[in-house]
Amino acid sequence: MIFLLENVIQDYEWGSKSFLQDLLGNGRYEGKPAAELWMGTHPRGPSKVLVNGEPVHLSRIIREHPEAILGKEVARRFSGQLPFLFKVLAAERPLSVQVHPDLDQAKEGYERENAQGIPENALERNYKDPNHKPELLCALSPFEGLKGFRSEEEILSILNRLSSRALLEEAKPLMDPGGASGLKSFYGSLMAMKGGRKEELLNEAISKAREQSSAPVFSWVVQLHRQYPGDMGALSPLFLNLVRLAPGEAMYLGPGELHSYLKGAGIELMANSDNVLRGGLTRKHVDLEELLKIVRFEGEYPQKIEPVASGPYEAVYKTPAEEFLLSVIELSGDGAYTSASDRAVEILISVKGQAHIEEAGAGRVIDLPKGRSVLVPASVIQYRIEGRATIYKATVPR
């Protein structure tokens, strides 16, 4: 049986005041920030499914029928848990610069903080669960973000253009051969800076950036400083890659990759975790010592992901993640999308147009207008979608 989903909206202060409201037709958030729509079982925002018109927690349905909902192999591999968290994200203001641990780091950190007696809801807690958080962001609108370190040569070139003597002095470790150690020394020194020295460096850098604010990298430095005065994270565009995604383009963020979402809306799909270590642009807890252990200090050019056709109506975004797989279904009204008969659990959300979904042999048709989401259990033999719509699908790779 295909289930309608009831999902949680997270109203973080950086959220858009229009995107999710328009997508969902939700007047409750009119004029207020709505940042993320969560589809999944994460305890901070669990979805419910409608069973005979009554809302029931999705986690309960999975717990009672793990193989029927997830599929036998997925239930075995992930201990009867839904392994991904599916989101629609809408950022009007920048998110914090952040990084996610790998699986071993997450397990060790979670156990360590448990042994220290730090409550899971404590503000100073780094590890909220023992899972890693690889994630994929697919743009629904023009989207800008920061992703991974620039090369040492590119950072030095940008700093020379900026002509900030204080920053160039801090960048000396980048001038000596040393790879990751030079980047780590440079970044760690900036993040640890305090007092008058920090204020002097920031003031000089921002002043120089304003003089060249027609360039996107310097424009973002000025904007970030305006929103987070005194925060060293405002300088992040000088050493992190600035990425611009057109609608339909995506980027994958693996463990240890320092990043930030600056502005725009997108589909986000990740392992089911909330482990975040922050490195600026935030009023929340920053643990610099732990952050430096997790960040991968390697300069690299950011790669965009384009969807690869897997049929006449579906295209897949390929990543190395074992927990999730994202695809997009585009229907123009001339044909129907027919699912595979051997599938894992799926969550679908329509982001444009109007369609309907029908389970083979069940005779039940569910409308899929813009903003509606459904859970398709693995036990559903097959289904068809017809209409004019753009639908994103989250599942588990087989």
Residue 229: closest CA among 254, 205, 245, 260: 205
Whole-angstrom distance, CA of residue 255 vs CA of residue 296: 8
Active site residues: 278
Specify the amino acid at residue 319.
Answer: T
The answer to whether the CB of 145 falls within 8 A of the CB of 245 is yes
Q: How many CB atoms lie within 10 A of CB 124?
A: 11
The answer to whether the CB of 273 falls within 8 A of the CB of 106 is yes
> Using CB atoms within 10 A of its CB, is residue 166 exposed (0-12), middle (13-18) or buried (19+)?
middle
> Using CB atoms within 10 A of its CB, is residue 339 exposed (0-12), middle (13-18) or buried (19+)?
buried
Determine the Cα angle at 233 with ends 229 and 239, to 5°.
135
Q: How many CB atoms lie within 10 A of CB 241?
A: 21
Segment holding 226, helix H or strand E: helix 216-227
